[in-house]
Amino acid sequence: MRVSEAINSRRSMRVFKPDPVAKADIEWIIENANRSASNGNLQPWKLYVTMGAARKRLSAAILKAMDEGDNGPGAEYNVYPQEFTPVYDARRKLVGKQLYTLLGVPRGDAAGMLKQFRKNYEFFDAPVGMILCVEKRMGNGQWIDCGIFLDQLMLLAREKGLHTCPQAAFSRYQHVVRRELGIPDDQIVICGLALGHADPDVVPNSLITERAPIGDFTTWFAE
């Protein structure tokens, strides 16, 4: 698979098959992603991989916390900007509308939206659920490094015929994730990553988000 093919076939899948993923394939993905660029070669990423019963226990613990109103302190970083300018707000609303239209959840259906949102914490039934963290002492540059590492995980998964879904939603319940996986207090829970076999023809997985033309964000200098 060419790199461009991996990039263009990668999208956030929200329905996974129960088919297991070989541990050897997961290790291969992580080992190759570990070649990701990082400033000063710090390699700041911390990765926690859950499978089988462990993955189900983590999901059950978070859903239990939701049901009991145990919201904890919330995310340790701003997942979104505190204020959206029109262009970014329009993009966010468009993808939300497209997704929930495919899911058959009409606008204003709070119960339907919550039901779908809860599936995040089950990793959309993917057999593998990863949690990406970084030490609190690290700077903004190391967050960039972790983003590169995350992207490499997703692209390498495509080479193995697998799909993924990065999930910032796990940062909301970082106190539960931390407790269940024994994550030290000096690490920040950045996001989760669902990994497995996904059927691209299932309706929720057919969403291909729009991308802005390069002229909207690229400035050229030739002289």
pLDDT for 199 equals 86
pLDDT for 46 equals 98
Rounded distance, CA 142 to CA 72, Å?
26
pLDDT for 58 equals 98
pLDDT for 107 equals 86
pLDDT for 166 equals 98
Domain count, the chain: 1
Residue 43 lies in a domain: yes
pLDDT for 55 equals 98
Q: Is the dihedral of CA 166, 170, 171, 177 positive or negative?
A: negative
Q: Which of 35-44, 105-114, 160-169 has the lowest mean pLDDT?
A: 105-114
Rounded distance, CA 120 to CA 16, Å?
12
Residue 184 lies in a domain: yes
Does residue 104 register a pLDDT over 90?
no
pLDDT for 79 equals 95
pLDDT for 204 equals 85
Tell me whether residue 146 is exposed, middle or buried, using C-beta atoms within 10 angstroms of its C-beta: 0 to 12, 13 to 18, 19 or more.
Answer: buried
Angle between helices 23-33 and 140-159 (to 10 degrees): 140
Average pLDDT over residues 24-30: 98
| Average pLDDT value for the chain | 96
Residue 186 lies in a domain: yes
Residue 55 lies in a domain: yes
> In which residue are the tokens 């119960």 written?
111
Q: Which residues of 15-48 are buried (b: 16+ CB within 10 A; e: fewer)?
A: bbeeeebeeebbeebbeebeebebeeeebbbbbb
Virtual torsion, Cα 176, 179, 183, 185, nearest 10 deg: 90
Q: Which of 35-44, 91-100, 149-158 has the lowest mean pLDDT?
A: 91-100
The pLDDT tens digits of the residues spanning 31-41 come to 999 999 999 99
DSSP structure class, residue 198: B
Residue 216 lies in a domain: no
Range of the domain at 11: 3-80+121-208
Rounded distance, CA 20 to CA 52, Å?
9
The pLDDT tens digits of the residues spanning 195-214 come to 999 987 888 898 899 999 99
pLDDT for 88 equals 95
What confidence tier does 59 reach under pLDDT thresholds 50, 70, 90? very high
Does residue 51 register a pLDDT over 90?
yes
Candidates 187, 84, 77; CA nearest to 96 is: 84
pLDDT for 186 equals 97
Q: What CATH number is associated with residue 29?
A: 3.40.109.10
**pTM (2 d.p.):** 0.95
Rounded distance, CA 145 to CA 41, Å?
9
Residue 153 lies in a domain: yes
Residue 98 lies in a domain: no
Cβ atoms of 126 and 16 closer than 8 Å: yes
The pLDDT tens digits of the residues spanning 178-196 come to 999 999 999 999 999 999 9
What confidence tier does 103 reach under pLDDT thresholds 50, 70, 90? confident
Cβ atoms of 181 and 131 closer than 8 Å: yes
